[in-house]
A and B are shown apart, each in its own frame.
Chain A
Amino acid sequence: MIRPLALAAALLPTLAQAQTDPADWDAVLEAARGQTVYWNAWGGSTTTNDFIAWVGARVAEDHGVILEHVKLTDTADAVTRVLSERQAGQDSGGAIDLIWINGANFAAMKQADLLFGPFAEDLPNWVHVADGPAVRTDFTVPTEGYESPWALAQVVFMYDSADMAPQPSMAAIADWAAQNPGRFTYPQPPDFLGLTFLKQALVELTPDPALLAQAPTDASYEVATAPLWDYLEDLTPNLWRQGRAYPATGPAQLQLIADQEIDLAISFSPGEASAAIANGQLPDTVRTFVLAGGTIGNASFVAIPYNASAPEGAMVVANFLLSPEAQLRAQDPAVLGYGTVLDMTKLPEDDAAGFAALDLGIATLPPEALGTPLPEPHPEWMTRIAEDWASRYGTAQ
């Protein structure tokens, strides 16, 4: 009895390590069948959680892949996890198969060689992707096929049209807040949306935006961020609760708007407000606006850790996320309202017609009104701003 067990135990690690070549898609599908994929994705938004559950049902149906959503409060948890596994010598059979990732977390994992790949451009559905800087760079870091895009995001501001008018700039928002104290706030950094608010302010206020494309030096950081800190000095006393408390995340702002606690909130998803109105989380008077000088945009990606237990299953999920079916569902404001990464001209006519027919929802701006998204600053800006913000406002009481 003992011997076959010991043999199996000896074989298991080698079996787990035998990763299939992403280019050989049939072999990938073969290996993926029956695999369980642990997708570590931020779990703070119930609409996203529902979408991931739907993806799980669809890949189980089509490919026999079982998808488990590991709900994170912070994507950095997943990075830590992979890092600790490598420190503990666990180079295969890791706990995480797929991560919803971008920005600093991707930069950290790529730099530390913690990622499986390149695989993204071998996915069969890559042919429909709107190829360009939006999907080939992530916060200025080249993706090089180590992560696969699945949604586009762009900053918009959600406002209650019953209480206020759209504002054209960050400066105008500060003026409005001064006249209406306590009616605006942003998620507490290091929440990514809170940091995005700081970056949006930085992009508009900094004297030389070109500096933001490279990693900051001490000198450039000083010069570039000084106007941002001045701006926050003025704004903070006029924030909700005078800046002594902040909502924990983006979705927590929805509850605050519904409770009439605030009138204005930042969002990284042009369709979020429409989706939230549809499921009763926001009043139907909420609309969105973008700033005259443009707003920051980026893509959401999925990446596979180097020691994933089920890289094939993870690739199947990544590929499904790029399918017209999944992209159409993600863009539907009744579901998620995320921007698609697909190029309509590369799609079969039927699929493109589906996108064209989509009702984007009452509070969603049409694509032409959103304007061209501004690029994200280099990830190190965000890291340093997060630290500075924490010592100035996050621990000050």
Chain B
Amino acid sequence: MIRAVPPLTLLLLLGPVAAGLWGVIRPAFGVLPAAGFAAPSLDPFRALADWPGLGAAVRLSVGVGLLATALSLALVTLICAGWWGTRAFRLLQRLLSPLLSVPHAAAAFGLAFLIAPSGWIARALSPWATGWDRPPDALIVNDPWGLALTAGLVIKEVPFLLLMVLAALPQVRAGERLRLTQVLGYGRMTGWLKAVFPAVYAQIRLPVYVVLAYSMSVVDVAVILGPSTPPPLSVQIVRWIGEPALETRLVAAAGAVLQLALVIGALVAWRLGEVVVARLGCAWAERGGRGRHENPLRRVSLVLGAGSAGAVLAGLAVLTVWSVAGFWGFPAAWPQGVGPANWARHGPGAGSAFGQTALVAGIATALALVLVLGCLQAEARTGRRPGASAMWLLYLPLLVPQTAFLPGLQTFLLGLGADRGVASVILAHLVFVLPYVFLSLADPWRAWDSRQATIAATLGAGPGAVFWRIRLPMLLAPVLTAAAVGLAVSVGQYLPTLLIGGGRVATLTTEAVALASGGDRRAIGVYALAQSAAALLPFALALALPALVWRNRRGLHG
């Protein structure tokens, strides 16, 4: 039975992606029989080409994606090169889990409330330093170049890539590499970049691709921070899906196919860029420079890294203040009155959305855990590890843009009469939760010393007993961490909930993004905080529970 788990997992993972892509490609070429379009044609693409905003939307999608990925990767690399092993780095590392679990939408709201011309930063400096008693008419948030959007993505992708690098470092024996460079007289950063980075990058290549695909096609962050005249392609696709005329669904499908092509093109371009950088890097390494004047760059990387983490945390702080604020005019740095009125008003709604969020996230994560544990168990029994191609399959749902296959999945489920329920939403979330749960659990699970199983077997324990009584309890900490990751991923999902739920499944994320259009900062503060709490709480439990359960087993604290 256990052997059936890996194929079942792949089916649940890739089935929706395949069905969704099929459901998008057909209407993109004019075939949507349910709506009376039967003859294949290129009309949807022509209509897409006729949309006057197409050039700008495509430029935005590609530009923001590449820039956000390059900046995030560069920042993570410089921080690691400059500070790995120092006290400052350990402090940053401790902030990682909370930073990671803050949902994208909440971080974006927080950033918007900070950097807008009427945001907290301007308020803190006005009028005493700036002389402003009215905010300047400056286009910072929703700027047409997507810079605010890029910043919003970078502050969330930096913690993600940093986590991936931290996981890769022991595998490439980074410490030994670095010591060797230092013996040869290389500076800290130069040694890291020349000897450690190439090996680390080979390990984090897929996560970097995920960041690129995600940044190019994100919807919720783009709605909050991105431009609107025109919006990035992904946002426009979602708008087309929402329009009443059925022909625009075909245009949306054509846009989704274009989005997919753009992501594939960008991935190919990035891969070519890797080759170029590798050539240049080799030449640079061979010149043998030991690296001088590293300190300014080191300091800059620390400032940027701290700034990136600080933006998320200060964003949460300003959301908290807004959630309890009475009237709060510009340029006051603090609200005129503070009280629980906003929570009393929006609390019940946020509470029921919290319930839906917890239900969806809980079931999706539980399913993912069962499947992942089943896969890892099957792997242990058969002794066969998934190869590189299996890793690509695992990453596939994260690489295919959500806007490219979710509309098709929606049509597919509607055809089955199975959409808009909580169950469909849970299955859609599973597609995104599963890879992350697998990625965070696989390494600690495989690293378990299997001699413990041998000893147990000599004492008469069967495979089941070894799993239930020894391996699972010993790995409680990583299992709970994987569960927390899964819950955080599910809590943050916007598009799957919106499209597959048909509006009936209202989670904290869909509610918060719906509120974005109304601009009521108090309500947004309440919802975004509740959303962050829903993602953070599991991480806190994942840390606290093993310590509590194994309070008399110091070696199992994880």
Contact = CB atoms under 8 A, between A and B. Distances in A.
Contacts of A95: 420, 502-504
A87 B520 contact: no
A247 B345 CA distance: 24
B468 interface: no
A32 to B, nearest CB: 20
Interface stretch (B165-173, B239-247, B272-280, B287-295): B239-247
Contacts of B116: 259
B144 A76 contact: no
Interface stretch (A40-48, A299-307, A352-360, A373-381): A40-48
Nearest to B326: A280
A81 B346 CA distance: 27
A53 B51 contact: no
Nearest to B139: A241
B517 A44 contact: yes
A46 B229 contact: no
Nearest to B135: A261
A81 B502 contact: yes
Contact of B514 (A44, A181, A244, A279): A44
Nearest to B60: A397
Contact of B230 (A46, A49, A74, A395): A395
A45 B518 contact: yes
A259 B417 contact: no
A53 B506 CA distance: 15
A279 B339 CA distance: 12
Given A95-B502, A259-B135, A395-B229, A283 B345 contact: no
B235 to A, nearest CB: 11
A71 B56 contact: no
Contacts of B35: 84, 87
Contacts of B519: 247-249, 251-256
A29 B229 CA distance: 48
B246 A255 contact: no
A95 B522 CA distance: 31
B19 interface: no
Contact of B518 (A44, A53, A240, A395): A44
A188 B517 CA distance: 11
Contacts, number: 169
Given A88-B417, A395-B229, A397-B144, A261 B117 contact: yes
Contacts of A259: 116, 118, 135, 329-330
A258 interface: yes
Contacts of B139: 241-242, 244-245
A108 interface: yes
A182 B243 CA distance: 31
B243 A80 contact: yes
Interface in A37-90: 38, 40, 43-46, 49-50, 53, 68, 70-74, 76-77, 79-81, 83-85, 87-88, 90
A105 interface: yes
Interface in B225-272: 227-230, 241-244, 246
A283 B329 contact: yes
B446 interface: no
Interface residues of A, number: 62
A65 to B, nearest CB: 17
A50 B345 contact: yes
B330 A260 contact: yes
Interface in B17-68: 34-36, 51-53, 56
B414 A88 contact: yes
Interface string B307-336: 000000000000000000111111100000
A258 B346 contact: no
Interface in A237-273: 240-242, 244-249, 251-256, 258-261
Q: Give the interface centre of A76, A249, A397 by most chain B CB atoms within 10 Å.
A: A397
A396 interface: yes
A283 B230 contact: no
Contacts of A49: 349
A213 B516 CA distance: 35
B328 A258 contact: yes
A248 B34 contact: no
Interface string A90-108: 1000010000000001001
Q: Give the interface centre of B36, B134, B241, B348 by most chain A CB atoms within 10 Å.
A: B134
A87 B34 contact: yes
Given A46-B523, A73-B517, A251-B519, A79 B244 contact: yes
A258 B327 contact: yes
Nearest to B224: A248
B349 A245 contact: no
Contacts of B230: 394-395, 397
B176 interface: no
A391 interface: yes
B403 interface: no
A81 B142 CA distance: 29
B220 interface: no
A241 B137 contact: yes
A283 B134 CA distance: 14
A3 B517 CA distance: 50
Nearest to A45: B518
Interface string A182-204: 10000010000000000000000
A367 B407 CA distance: 47
Nearest to A163: B134
B52 A77 contact: no
Contact of A397 (B56, B244, B341, B522): B56
A53 B349 contact: yes
Given A44-B515, A71-B514, A241-B137, A83 B246 contact: yes
A88 to B, nearest CB: 5
B131 interface: no
A304 to B, nearest CB: 17
A259 B331 CA distance: 8
Nearest to A96: B503
Contacts of B53: 390, 394-395
Contacts of A38: 504
A83 B337 CA distance: 47
B494 to A, nearest CB: 12
A76 B243 contact: yes
A254 B35 CA distance: 40
A81 B518 contact: no
Contacts of A161: none
Nearest to B346: A46
Contacts of B134: 260-261
A382 to B, nearest CB: 13
A87 B32 CA distance: 10
A393 interface: yes
Given A244-B144, A280-B326, A393 B229 contact: yes
A95 B504 CA distance: 8
B387 interface: no
Contact of A248 (B144, B504, B516, B523): B516
Contact of A188 (B229, B241, B243, B345): B229
B117 to A, nearest CB: 7
Contacts of A258: 327-330
A281 interface: yes
A251 B242 contact: no
23 contacts: A43-B514, A43-B518, A46-B345, A77-B242, A77-B503, A79-B244, A84-B246, A87-B35, A241-B139, A242-B139, A244-B229, A255-B521, A258-B330, A260-B135, A261-B330, A279-B341, A280-B327, A280-B337, A281-B327, A281-B522, A394-B228, A395-B56, A396-B52
Interface of B: 34-36, 51-53, 56, 116-118, 133-135, 137, 139, 142-144, 227-230, 241-244, 246, 325-331, 337, 341, 345-346, 348-349, 414-415, 417, 420, 502-504, 506, 511, 514-523
Given A83-B246, A280-B326, 16 more contacts: A43-B514, A45-B520, A49-B349, A71-B503, A77-B242, A81-B502, A83-B244, A88-B415, A95-B504, A241-B139, A244-B229, A251-B519, A252-B517, A252-B518, A280-B328, A395-B51
